[in-house]
């Protein structure tokens, strides 16, 4: 049997919605002959195949019962009689199936150009099927009438049944095909040091400083927002600073467009949005990368970091940066962590500044300025949520075995929606009535409105290592899709940027490998009605319904995916 194995690896997970079921159909072959029986029985609903499967499954139950009795020396002659009686029914069904196979061979001769391919696949299936059934029936016939049977014979029968009877795959509930990347601790780069434009470096502007890029496009959505902000760099800077929530991970994952839609992003994604808005307004802009130290020179910078991350324990903050993949170094003072140095990305832009600090009243005094929106100077205000453990009725009621309850059936709600509805149901009769949201810790960004651009950065720039007009590929999150058969032959391999996939439907499906395969499917009026062994399929990756990647071909030996 060939199977398709799809693996997804990414630096960070991405948003994707899969609404279409993957169609995975199994093929019989000489090495696994009866798997075919299972496949075309399910596909066409033929009663003979179902009867044969039922008889074989009952036989397996009897064999397991005999195996349980042998060590104790219990009587098994009645069980052997039942097994032999079932084998006669199986033999009759087997003979009828062979007649049906002959009829099918005749019908395949009408398929035109697909005739030769279909007939050869049918022949291979039939030979394998016949060999497996005959071997099984012969072994049952060899058991003597007195019921004497060895464990070796039972083992062989079980092995044959495992080959013949395909174990149906159940839908995956609660298991996701990704894991945390488990980054090692990494320190910021200290090998390079450059001088960006706003520090007196290369200040000559070029077309690339105002051009849209895939990560920071100047599209209708970006241009419309820039227009509502009057193409004003102060308004643009303060809008991003006060409206985009800061998340923590390394590199760009969402890009400008998705950061705008989600109203959240890390330093790199916020920089992409800021660059896109400034360039759309005609201001040359670049990215700057380096090592910074939070709020250096201010009182208790560690308290500011706690507020920004929502984590009270400095050691946990270090662990947080590590898990987010952000290179960091703790700053120790008095034997305690007093601050952190981290790798960071921010923006520089060529803006009229001398007279009105970026508020566009005239075009005089243009200069390159460093700007950052992700490290919020004013910080956040946190609520005081209720302790869920102060309500034991929840712990022993709605929350007891909530995971098992959710996974016990196919759900229309997401896990979070399911949890919220059950907690609300439990609490609505209380006095006073409570809601799920009463137990959530939330934070509110405190806006900072200056109506001018700042004359300094909100962090100490320890070392500036790079200046870009476009974020390099090494800092853009990617996801790889691979499809292989059971022999590890690669059928599909493609790497895509996560910002191109975010909030889009991603589906791995299958399509006929050749025109002949499509003709065979058409002759049976659809894939669900087609005997599985007659066609070959290849994997296809679709993004929002568009075919993005197609497998090279199906399995090389003619078996079904």
pLDDT digits (tens, 9 = 90+) for 142-179: 988 777 888 999 999 988 888 778 665 555 555 555 56
Q: Is 442 helix (H, G, I), strand (E, B) or coil?
A: coil
Task: Examine the pLDDT at 286 and tell me if it is beyond 60.
Answer: yes
Task: Examine the pLDDT at 42 and tell me if it is beyond 80.
Answer: no
Residues of the chain above pLDDT 70, percent: 84
Q: Show Cβ contacts of residue 167 under 8 Å, excluding neighbours closer than 6 positions.
A: none
Question: How many C-beta atoms surround the C-beta of residue 326 within 10 A?
Answer: 21
Split at pLDDT 50, 70, 90, the class of 192 is: confident
Task: Examine the pLDDT at 50 and tell me if it is beyond 80.
Answer: yes
Split at pLDDT 50, 70, 90, the class of 49 is: confident
Radius of gyration of the CA atoms of the chain, in A: 33
Residues of the chain above pLDDT 90, percent: 50
Q: What is the pLDDT of residue 493?
A: 92
pLDDT digits (tens, 9 = 90+) for 457-514: 999 999 999 999 999 999 999 999 988 887 888 888 999 999 999 888 999 888 999 9
Q: What is the pLDDT of residue 414?
A: 86
Split at pLDDT 50, 70, 90, the class of 312 is: very high
- 135-161 burial code (b ≥16 CB/10 A, e <16): ebeeebeebeeebebeeebbeebeebb
C-alpha–C-alpha distance, residues 351 and 340, integer Å: 31
181 with 13: CB under 8 angstroms?
Answer: no
**Lowest-confidence segment of 123-137, 248-262, 397-411, 440-454 by average pLDDT:** 397-411
Q: What is the pLDDT of residue 13?
A: 33
Q: What are phi and psi of 463, to 5 degrees?
A: -155, 125
Split at pLDDT 50, 70, 90, the class of 434 is: confident
Split at pLDDT 50, 70, 90, the class of 212 is: very high
pLDDT digits (tens, 9 = 90+) for 194-211: 999 999 999 999 999 999
Q: How many residues does the chain have?
A: 561
Instruction: Return mean pLDDT, the chain.
Output: 84
Q: What is the pLDDT of residue 208?
A: 97
49 with 40: CB under 8 angstroms?
Answer: yes
Q: Is 391 helix (H, G, I), strand (E, B) or coil?
A: coil
Pairing of strands 245-246, 546-550: unpaired
Q: What is the pLDDT of residue 364?
A: 67
- CA dihedral (323, 329, 335, 337) positive or negative: negative
Split at pLDDT 50, 70, 90, the class of 428 is: confident
Task: Examine the pLDDT at 38 and tell me if it is beyond 60.
Answer: no
Report the predicted TM-score, pTM, of the whole model to 2 decimal places: 0.73
Q: Which of 240-254, 422-436, 450-464 has the highest mean pLDDT?
A: 240-254
Q: What is the pLDDT of residue 48?
A: 85
Split at pLDDT 50, 70, 90, the class of 253 is: very high
Task: Examine the pLDDT at 545 and tell me if it is beyond 50.
Answer: yes
**Lowest-confidence segment of 112-121, 122-131, 200-209, 395-404 by average pLDDT:** 395-404
Q: What is the pLDDT of residue 162?
A: 84
Partners of 243 in the β-ladder: none
pLDDT digits (tens, 9 = 90+) for 469-479: 999 999 999 99
Split at pLDDT 50, 70, 90, the class of 354 is: low
Task: Examine the pLDDT at 213 and tell me if it is beyond 90.
Answer: yes
Q: What is the pLDDT of residue 335?
A: 93
pLDDT digits (tens, 9 = 90+) for 360-406: 555 667 899 999 999 999 999 999 888 877 777 666 666 778 888 88
What is the rounded average pLDDT of the residues 40-46? Answer: 43
Split at pLDDT 50, 70, 90, the class of 556 is: very low
pLDDT digits (tens, 9 = 90+) for 526-539: 988 888 889 989 99
Split at pLDDT 50, 70, 90, the class of 356 is: low
């Amino acid at each position: 049997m060939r199977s398709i194995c799809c693996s997804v690896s990414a630096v960070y997970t991405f948003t994707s919605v899969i609404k279409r079921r993957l169609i995975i159909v199994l093929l019989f072959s000489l090495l696994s002959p009866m798997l075919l029986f299972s496949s075309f029985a399910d596909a066409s609903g033929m009663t003979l195949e179902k009867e044969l499967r039922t008889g074989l499954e009952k036989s397996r139950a009897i064999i397991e019962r005999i195996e349980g009795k042998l060590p104790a020396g219990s009587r098994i002659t009645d069980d052997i009689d039942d097994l032999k009686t079932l084998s006669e029914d199986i033999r009759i069904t087997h003979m009828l199936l062979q007649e049906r196979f002959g009829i099918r061979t005749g019908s395949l001769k009408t398929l035109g150009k697909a005739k030769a391919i279909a007939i050869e696949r049918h022949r291979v299936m039939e030979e394998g099927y016949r060999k497996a059934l005959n071997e099984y029936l012969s072994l049952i016939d060899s058991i003597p009438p007195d019921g004497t049977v060895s464990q070796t014979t039972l083992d062989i029968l079980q092995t044959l049944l495992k080959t013949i009877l395909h174990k149906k795959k159940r839908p995956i509930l609660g298991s996701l095909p990704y894991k945390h990347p488990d980054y090692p601790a990494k320190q910021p780069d200290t090998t390079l040091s450059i001088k960006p434009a706003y520090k007196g470096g290369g200040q000559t502007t070029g077309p690339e400083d105002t051009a849209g890029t895939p990560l920071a496009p100047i599209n209708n959505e970006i241009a419309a927002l820039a227009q509502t902000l009057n193409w004003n760099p102060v308004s643009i800077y303060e809008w991003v600073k006060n409206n985009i929530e800061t998340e923590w991970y390394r590199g760009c994952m969402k890009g400008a467009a998705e950061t705008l839609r989600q109203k959240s992003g890390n330093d790199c994604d916020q920089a992409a949005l800021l660059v896109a808005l400034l360039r759309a307004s005609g201001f040359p802009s670049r990215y700057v990368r380096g090592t910074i130290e939070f709020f250096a020179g201010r009182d208790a910078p560690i308290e500011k970091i706690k507020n920004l991350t929502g984590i009270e324990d400095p050691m946990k903050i270090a662990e947080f940066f590590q898990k987010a993949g952000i290179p960091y170094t703790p700053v120790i003072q008095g034997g305690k962590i007093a601050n952190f140095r981290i790798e960071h990305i921010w923006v520089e832009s060529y803006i009229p500044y001398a007279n009105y600090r970026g508020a566009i009243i005239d075009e005089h005094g243009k200069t390159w300025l460093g700007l950052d929106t992700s490290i919020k100077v004013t910080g956040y205000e946190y609520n005081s949520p209720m302790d869920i453990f102060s309500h034991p009725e929840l712990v022993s009621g709605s929350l007891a075995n909530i995971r098992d309850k959710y996974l016990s059936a196919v759900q229309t709600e997401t896990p979070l929606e399911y949890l919220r509805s059950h907690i609300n149901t439990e609490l609505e009769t209380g006095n006073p009535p409570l809601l799920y949201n009463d137990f959530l810790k939330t934070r509110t960004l405190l806006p900072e409105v200056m109506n001018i651009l700042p004359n300094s950065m909100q962090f100490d720039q320890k070392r500036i290592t790079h200046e870009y007009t476009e974020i390099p590929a090494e800092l853009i999150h990617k996801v790889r899709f691979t499809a292989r058969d059971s022999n590890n032959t690669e059928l599909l391999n493609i790497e895509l940027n996560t910002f191109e996939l975010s909030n889009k439907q991603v589906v791995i499906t299958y399509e006929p490998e050749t025109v002949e395969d499509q003709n065979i499917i058409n002759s049976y009026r659809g894939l669900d009605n087609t005997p599985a062994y007659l066609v070959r399929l290849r994997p296809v990756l679709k993004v929002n319904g568009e075919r993005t990647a197609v497998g090279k071909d199906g399995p090389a030996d003619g078996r079904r995916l």
